Amino acid sequence: MKHTPDLALWYPRGCNFDLIGYADADYARFLVDRKSTSGMTHFLRPYLISCATKKQHSVAMSTAEAEYVAATSCCAQLLWIRQPLKDFSVDMGCIPIFCDNTSAINIVKIPCQHKRTKHIDIHHHFLRDNIEKGLTSMNFCATDKQITDIITKAMCREQFEKNRLELGIVKTT
């Protein structure tokens, strides 16, 4: 922030909003312990309302597992955001979570995958439970459309600028 005083979040007027989340992970990026980093962004579309990165607590055994853990964290945050909206009688319906990893999405959607994921800590299956309840859904987004990459991975300047604009971060000068 200190080195980007010419950037600001932009919130346009008069837009309808939908609560959505994007989840991403970098797989085993830390060279010392090989833990992955979860990244998530949350929108009351088109408004960015929250973004976060967090080192995962355990070592993921695959990219799909790292992405699944990131989506679980994103789901928990979205459900937390949903509650005050519900208190104001704003029904968000089923909240979509966008992920660029089809294997992570399949862990949630295909029951036969469950045998292969028994090693994943129980609290991460919180995501599957909330999808089954209809509170959230997992949706695919292409890697080049994954907005959260900006906080989890190094990227070329062109993709960085595109993602920055998608987040609503614009130049003020």
Residue 35 contacts residue 71 (beta carbons within 8 Å): no
Q: Which of helix, strand or coil describes residue 121?
A: coil
Q: Where are the domains of the chain?
A: 7-171
The letter for the amino acid at 137 is S
Class of domain 7-171: alpha beta
pTM over 0.85: no
How many CA atoms within 13 Å lie on the side-chain side of 68? Answer: 30
pLDDT at 168: 82
- Give long-range contacts, CB 8 A cutoff, 24+ apart: 61-66: 61/119, 62/27, 62/103, 63/25, 63/27, 63/101, 63/103, 64/101, 64/103, 64/104, 64/106, 64/107, 65/104, 65/117, 65/120, 66/25, 66/26, 66/27, 66/28, 66/36, 66/38
pLDDT truncated to tens, each residue of the chain (173 aa)?
Answer: 566 777 777 766 766 678 999 999 988 776 778 888 899 999 987 788 898 989 888 888 788 888 988 999 999 999 999 998 888 888 888 999 999 988 888 878 775 555 555 556 556 678 888 888 999 998 999 888 888 888 788 888 888 888 888 888 888 87
How many CA atoms within 13 Å lie on the side-chain side of 42? Answer: 19
Residue 63 contacts residue 26 (beta carbons within 8 Å): no
Peptide bond into 96 cis (omega under 30): no
Q: What b/e string do you get for 64-88 counting C-beta neighbours within 10 Å, with b at 16 or more?
A: bbbbbbbbbbbbbbbbebbeeeeee
Report how far residue 143's alpha carbon sits from residue 126's, in angstroms, rounded to the nearest whole number: 25
